[in-house]
Structure 1
Amino acid sequence: MKAQDIMIKNVICVDMDERLPNIRKLMESHGFHHLPVTEKGKLAGIISDRDLLRLISPFIDSVSEQTRDLDTLNRAAHQVMTRQPITVRADTSIEDIITWFKRVDISCLPVVDEDNTVIGIISWRDLLNHATF
């Protein structure tokens, strides 16, 4: 089995200058946990739901909300993304993908082509959904 056999295709990506409110909305409405960030169509980074939880003030939309809390929403994708994420190609074996998940503390791998364009994404959930026991 290869990455192309289990990857999610038609990945929604955001531009480097996309603001956190839109990113948060996209992730919530689609149930995403990871969102690739692109620059001129090429993968530049990735944002996870954990990044958003860490960066966005918990007081947003509450009675305790203050101006400094709203300022956390003013950031752009390039300010919060993980740069140069580990990637795989469509022909990468599932064994190699599992090795990456075990070796590095990551929960998804973008699948890119030779031009570094995102063609898919694989999360640990995708591996579990395709596992045979």
Structure 2
Amino acid sequence: MSIKDIMSTSIVTVRLGDSVAVVKEIFDNSPFHHLLVVDSGELFGIISDRDLFKILSPTIGTVSETTRDLAILNKKAHQILTRKPITLSEKSGLSDVIKVFKKHNISCIPVVNDENEPVGIVSWRDLLKIFDDK
């Protein structure tokens, strides 16, 4: 089985200069848990919903919101992303996916082509679906 058989090709990307407010809006309005950060089409990093939750104040969007809360929303994606994420090639096999998940404490693996452009993403949930379908 190939990585192409389990990866999601419905990826959502943001640019390095996009604001945290844009990132928050995407997470608030979609079922995705990871956003790939690109620069000139090339994968630069990744932002998880957990990365966002770590920096957001619970008072954002409430009457208790502070100027500090608003400043966080004005930060840029490059300030909160995980740089140089662990990736796999679109030529990788299922065993490669399993090895990466076992070796690293990560929840998804971006899949890139030879130009380091994202073409998909595999989460541990995608891996579990293989066994759920049997």
Residue range with higher mean Cα deviation, 116-125 or 61-70? 61-70
- Distance in 1 (CA, whole Å) between partners of 2:111 and 2:28 is 22
1:108 paired residue number: 108
For residue 101 of structure 1, give the secondary structure of its aligned residue in structure 2. helix
Instruction: Supply the AA of the counterpart residue of 1:42.
Output: E
Q: TM-score, normalised by structure 2?
A: 0.94
C-alpha deviation, 1:28, in angstroms: 2.2
For residue 30 of structure 1, give the secondary structure of its aligned residue in structure 2. coil
1:126 paired residue number: 126
| CA deviation string 1:11-32 (max 9, x = no partner) | 1211110111111111221211
2:11 paired residue number: 11
Q: Aligned ranges for residues 37-48 of structure 1 at < 5 Å?
A: 37-48=37-48
4+ residue segments displaced more than 2 Å:
none
- Distance in 1 (CA, whole Å) between partners of 2:34 and 2:72 is 19
| Percentage of pairs with the same residue | 44
Root-mean-square deviation over aligned CA pairs:
1.2
Q: Aligned ranges for residues 39-58 of structure 1 at < 5 Å?
A: 39-58=39-58
- Distance in 1 (CA, whole Å) between partners of 2:11 and 2:64 is 36
2:83 paired residue number: 83
1:67 aligns to 2:70 (yes or no) = no
Q: TM-score, normalised by structure 1?
A: 0.95
- Distance in 2 (CA, whole Å) between partners of 1:76 and 1:131 is 39
Instruction: Supply the AA of the counterpart residue of 1:34.
Output: H
Instruction: Supply the AA of the counterpart residue of 2:90.
Output: A
1:94 paired residue number: 94
| CA deviation string 1:76-104 (max 9, x = no partner) | 11110000000001121111111111211
Q: How many residues align?
A: 133
For residue 109 of structure 2, give the secondary structure of its aligned residue in structure 1. strand
